[in-house]
Each structure stands twice: as structure tokens, then as C-alpha cells.
Amino acid sequence: MSLSIGIVGLPNVGKSTLFNALTKAQNAESANYAFCTIEPNKAVVPVPDSRLEVLSDLVKPQRVQSSTVDFVDIAGLVAGASKGEGLGNKFLGNIRETQAILHVVRCFDDDDVIHVSNSVDPIRDIEVIETELILADVQVLDNRLERMEKQLKGDKTLAPKIEVAKQLIAHMNEGQPASTFPGEHKALGDLLAELHLITAKNVIYCANVDEDGVAEDNEYVASVKALAAERGAEFVKISAKMEEELVGLDEEEQKEFLESYGIEESGLHQIIRTGFHSLGLISYFTAGVKEVRAWTIHDGDKAPQAAGVIHTDFERGFIRAEVISYDNYVKFGSESKCRSEGVLKVEGKDYVMKDGDVVHFLFNV
């Protein structure tokens, strides 16, 4: 399992600059004009986790494998995108499969950087994007509803799904995202799982500031932060331009650069950490001489489910798990020492995984 995040926003708000910085690769063209991104950009980014480095120093494996995040960047959306305006609408399908949405909003003034609306207004910009995403989702729902109504005569079990689709369309036509639709029942769950509606996903509002806005929040940032809090959504503040400057610096240089601006962690760290939190994800580790590796699972997953992330056979033939907490592994320095000290625990099918567990699975198929 990997975390996947779709990046959306108006044209020229710093999305491609951020994408370049986050992926450590200059493969999303940046320019001072709208629609410079005309193809969806995808990249797989390793999740920074200092625990992985510590385990690697102890085990000395042949290789180290991080968990990953898939970032998907599409062309900027504009008003009317759902009706074909601009270029971003062509690539909405690329972010329907992602788990979360990173909504990048411009929160700085700069006469040299063109704004598609000729003025900076984060709340207005957010409303433009969200309206277009809602309208795009309504189109998907309308098409699915039409097909289901034609199939109803031959399949009466579609009736509950048809009813909930009509209610959801009415809800969204009032300007509300699918995520705020009240109620939980099977027909709704089936419909959302089938259609991957964009407005049903977790949203992280990302305020993009200039260097002057890094240390203190300006009025633009404050307005976005307040909106996120009101909606119970996640919020991060970054400087995409500054993040791009971090590309190519080693770890110590990055630390010094960030400290010079009073920042403790990079935008990449913030976004991934926030994404993990919003989706309820955690990591566990496997550690051997061939490989030390981080694996991403849902908080609350039991041992067999966690084993299944490695291979489906591991879950199907699960026998037991040998588990060492990260803190104990570091304290005693090796699996054999943890075993002799009695801190290696043998767990069964009902064991709920904890963030940072170091695990060896036993299975039989």
C-alpha cells in the first residue's frame, strides 16, 4: 500500500514548483504563464522516516526501502473546467484514484507572478476549484444514474443505489461536496467505492507563501487556516519556491537552510505526515540482512492484514508474528538480543499493529 495524493489548484499558484520540489526532480515545467502543465505528472516519492535510518545502522542490510507516496499533479483548473474550459479538466480522471487531495492556494502578493484572476484571494480561489470538482463529480453521478435506471427493470437490487444517487446529486447541486453527505449505508458506500468521487476524498489545504510569509502567517494564510479548521480539514503552510531551493542539498545543508528561516521540517515532511494522519496510516518495519523496509498500513490493522501488504500469501497462510517495538529494538540493538531479553513478543491473528513495530511474519501456504 502506498499513499497517493492528487495536487489541484488554479493555474500558476505554484503547483508545478511544489511538485518539482517534492519529487526532487525537475520534471514538471514551471513558467510564469497559465496552463504550462499540459500533461499529468506522476512521481513516486520515498517517505522520510528517521527510524528507518536508525534500523539500517543497526542491521547493516544490503538495501533500505522506504514507504512511498504517489504524487499526481494535473494542469491548473479554472472556472468552467467541468464544461471543458482550460486543460485541467482533461486530467481529472488521473486524481480520482488518489486517496487524498492537496489543494494548493496562492497566499502571497507578487506583481511579477501573474494570477489567473488578476488578484490574490485564497477563499475565492478555493471556491472556484471546489465548484468545478463538485460539478465534475455530478456529471459522473448523472451518467451512472442514467445507466442504473436503464438496468433497473432487469436488476431490482439497484433501487437503493439509485435512490441514494439522486439524493447525493441533489446535495451536491447545492454546492456541497460528497464528503458532507449525511448518513452511512451500504448503497452509499458501494456508490462511492465504485465512482471514486473527488469531493469525497480527504482534503489538505496547502497555503503557498513567499519567503516573507514563512515565519509568520499573513492574512491570506490566516483565512485558509480558518476555513480548514471550520471544515475539519488538514492544513499545511509551505513555500514552494523555498522547497525547490532545497533540491540538491544534503541533509545537513537542508537542516541549516530550514533553521535559517525558523522551520523545523520541509514541506515534503509536512505534507506526508499530514497525509498519513488524515488517512489514518502508520508504518511498520521488517529488518533483515537483505533488506530493512518500511510498510504502510491503516491504524487498527491486525497482524494478518499487515502481512498481506507484503504478499497476499502471507495473509492467507498467516501463523503468527514475532513483534519487537521500535524503542526496544533500538535499546537492545538486534533481534537476537531482543529475543534473549524477552521483549520479542509472539502475537496471533488478533494482534493490532502499532506504529513502528519491527515484525517477522511466519506463514504457511
Alpha-carbon distance of 155 to 161, in angstroms, equals: 11
Given the C-alpha cell 543497526, which residue does it identify? 58
Residue 157 labelled as part of a binding site? no
Alpha-carbon distance of 169 to 235, in angstroms, equals: 28
Q: Determine contact, residues 199/136, Cβ cutoff 8 Å.
A: no
Strand order from edge to edge, sheet including 41-46: 41-46, 68-73, 3-8, 100-106, 202-208, 234-238
105 pairs with which residues across the strands?
207
Q: Determine contact, residues 220/246, Cβ cutoff 8 Å.
A: no
Residue 15 labelled as part of a binding site? yes
Residue 349 labelled as part of a binding site? no
Residue 283 labelled as part of a binding site? no
Residue 17 labelled as part of a binding site? yes
Q: Determine contact, residues 206/122, Cβ cutoff 8 Å.
A: no
Q: Which three cell numbers stand for residue 234?
A: 488538514
Alpha-carbon distance of 43 to 250, in angstroms, equals: 21
Could you tell me which of 55, 60, 153, 137 has the C-alpha nearest to residue 96? 137
Residue 331 labelled as part of a binding site? no
How does strand 68-73 pair with strand 3-8? parallel
Q: Determine contact, residues 303/353, Cβ cutoff 8 Å.
A: yes
Could you tell me which of 310, 313, 311, 305 has the C-alpha nearest to residue 349? 305
- H-run or E-run covering 123: helix 122-151
Annotated binding site: 12-17
Annotated binding site for ATP: 12-17
